[in-house]
Structure 1
Amino acid sequence: MEWLWTIAELLVLVALILTLGLPLAVIIVAFRRRCSHISADDAHPIFEDPNSLKQVPSPSIFDPAEKYISLIIPAYNEEHRLPGALSETMNYLQQRAAKDKSFSYEVVIVDDGSVDGTKRVAFGFVRRYTIENVRVILLGRNHGKGEAIRRGMLHSRGELLLMLDADGATKINDLEKLENQIRREAKNELKLRDGVDSGSVSRISDIPIVAFGSRAHLEEKALATRKWYRNFLMKGFHAVVLLTAGRGIRDTQLHKTTKHQCGFKMFTRAAARKLFSNIRLKRWCFDVELVYLCKHFGIRMIEISVNWSEIPGSKVNPLSIPNMLWELCLVSIGYRTYMWKIST
């Protein structure tokens, strides 16, 4: 029986270490990230033109816009899925630019430390479409989807900024749904503010608005066809949000907004400037922090149904749950203890 007591004592010791150690680890990491959104890594990257071999300094989200729309695509080991999605995207953008001479665009590909041929594929599109229209940011090592998007947003030139996944899961022409709704909302806001109907794109971009692509209308079908572990992750993620998120994060609006959204989101420049200069989560749960920051700033959030389909090769897997739990604990502790200050 003595060995049973030894095992019991070891289990109690492990339980104590976990009980005391995990909260302490969360607090330490949250403290270390209090200024991570303004780290030295945010120094402006230099875009290299593979055609002329000249270096092009990157802009800042705080600079005046130079393009109508920027598309930010985070890519981690997307050598096989990126070419098809990018080709479809560029075809759409070129056709629209040919019809509307006032339409200008850029695509910013953020290579999040890929170890396959993603960099080669990305620079191939720069050579084909020129650095004026396609640019690549190399992060060097893998940081996470949230950090890749943040870096891309901070160095984009658009009046409107769209984040989308590298797999092409959402039809690119659905950006018009988000764009049109943002323009309507902004014009209504301008009418209330100025008492006039302004069609100025530059003024519309100054109204903080975020449009989330939603797949709520596809949820019933998706549950029946999606891989079992992705349904499990989705349900688990929603449960974890409700259990761990702090006050202001754990509410019906956030749960509803994060439940059905996909990686297809559009921001006015004013909204992107406020949100991505503050966001700290680096991986999957940055969506939760985005919604929290929107609520903090009073930024209008709208959900719009988009055409979405599951593409093989997803980076989400059952091992993502511990990371999601970890990040939700970080965001809860960070904002609850006021370690994470929000700059205006």
Structure 2
Amino acid sequence: MRTLLSVVVPVLNEERRLPATLVGLAYALRGVSRRTEIVVVDNGSTDRSAEVVRAHRAGPVPIRMIECAERGKGAAVRAGVLDTDSAFVGFCDADLATNMDALTPTLAHLFDGVNVVIGSRAHPMSDVRARHSVLRQAGAWAFRRAVGSLVPGVADTQCGFKFFDRATATAVFTPLRTTGFAFDVELLARAQQNGAVIAELPVRWTDVPGSTFSPMRDGFRSFAALREIRELLDRETVSAPVLSSDTVIAEVA
């Protein structure tokens, strides 16, 4: 039987959070009537992350691990997604900042024909509990402004909860070149180019301490990546949309 849903989790030195993450994900997925799986992508961890995954007790939801030698969250997610053949595939962060109760409406929208479902902290019905510094808040605001021309109409490109139907996943992840934290922008820009129907979903999101994102180091790189993404997409010959005639961005209640 073909797997219905694969959930990819990129991991870099997450030995402390992984046990609870795997339990929480498996619990969220066990209510799905058809086959699901969790794919952990070890992105060069130097701690016991890989051992934690291998030692995790097998349950009704299969958990497997692959390795991605190319560093970067974008590279790890791409490797995980392209290693699956399920009908639907997506990814979430190892800290489970986005509550997994969003999975049920996500699947409902995918079954209804939505090509891309993304968690949106900017949705008016989202419950966001953030403890970011003033510097990080200012950087996030500036980043959203800069992203607007690349992915028009999408309020939150960076929430670590995104799911795709198989055709869309193949179309946007195969040519993905951004390996760092800004990879979501390239993904969504490519989805729009392909005429994808994109739905922003309200989420319960909690800022979890221990993020590997550095506002100074990674923030600067992310802004530089936006310019590279624009140049990359401008250089490419964009084929006619293959998913639908018009891109639709839906705010889902």
Of 37, 62, 66, 1:137 maps to: 66
Q: Structure 1, residues 81-138: CA drift from partner, whole Å, max 9, x if none?
A: 22111111112323x25xx3xx11111000011111111112122xx21798111111
The equivalent of 1:85 in structure 2 is 21
In the TM superposition, 1:284-299 aligns within 5 A as: 284-299=181-196
Of 298, 303, 306, 2:200 maps to: 303
Larger fraction in strand: 2
In the TM superposition, 1:128-277 aligns within 5 A as: 128-129=57-58, 133-140=62-69, 143-184=71-112, 186=113, 209-216=115-122, 217=124, 222=129, 225-241=131-147, 249-250=149-150, 252-254=152-154, 256-258=155-157, 261-277=158-174
2:15 aligns to what SS in structure 1?
A: coil
1:213 aligns to what SS in structure 2?
A: strand
The equivalent of 1:35 in structure 2 is none
Structure 2 gap ranges (5+): 243-253
In the TM superposition, 1:10-159 aligns within 5 A as: 66-94=2-30, 96=31, 100=33, 103-125=34-56, 128-129=57-58, 133-140=62-69, 143-159=71-87
**Larger Rg, first or second structure (1 or 2):** 1
Using the alignment, how far apart are the partners of 1:86 and 1:226 within structure 2? 26
Q: Is the 8 A contact 1:278 1:342 kept in 2?
A: no
Using the alignment, how far apart are the partners of 2:61 and 2:206 within structure 1? 31
Q: Is the 8 A contact 1:110 1:137 kept in 2?
A: yes
TM-score (normalised: structure 1): 0.63
Structure 1 letter corresponding to 2:220: P
1:129 aligns to what SS in structure 2?
A: coil
How far the C-alpha of 1:335 sits from its partner, in A, is 2.0
Using the alignment, how far apart are the partners of 1:277 and 1:129 within structure 2? 31
Cα 1:342–1:281 shift into 2, 3 Å: farther
Using the alignment, how far apart are the partners of 1:132 and 1:321 within structure 2? 36
Q: Is the 8 A contact 1:74 1:111 kept in 2?
A: yes
How far the C-alpha of 1:320 sits from its partner, in A, is 1.1
User: Structure 1 residues 291-300 or 129-138, which shifts more?
Assistant: 129-138
Cα 1:139–1:342 shift into 2, 3 Å: farther
RMSD: 2.6
Cα 1:131–1:151 shift into 2, 3 Å: farther
Cα 1:174–1:239 shift into 2, 3 Å: closer
How far the C-alpha of 1:170 sits from its partner, in A, is 1.4
Number of aligned pairs? 239
Q: Percent identity?
A: 28
Q: Is the 8 A contact 1:69 1:157 kept in 2?
A: no
Q: Is the 8 A contact 1:229 1:317 kept in 2?
A: no
Structure 1 gap ranges (5+): 1-64, 187-207, 243-248
Larger fraction in helix: 1
Q: Is the 8 A contact 2:127 2:205 kept in 1?
A: no
Q: Is the 8 A contact 1:236 1:321 kept in 2?
A: no
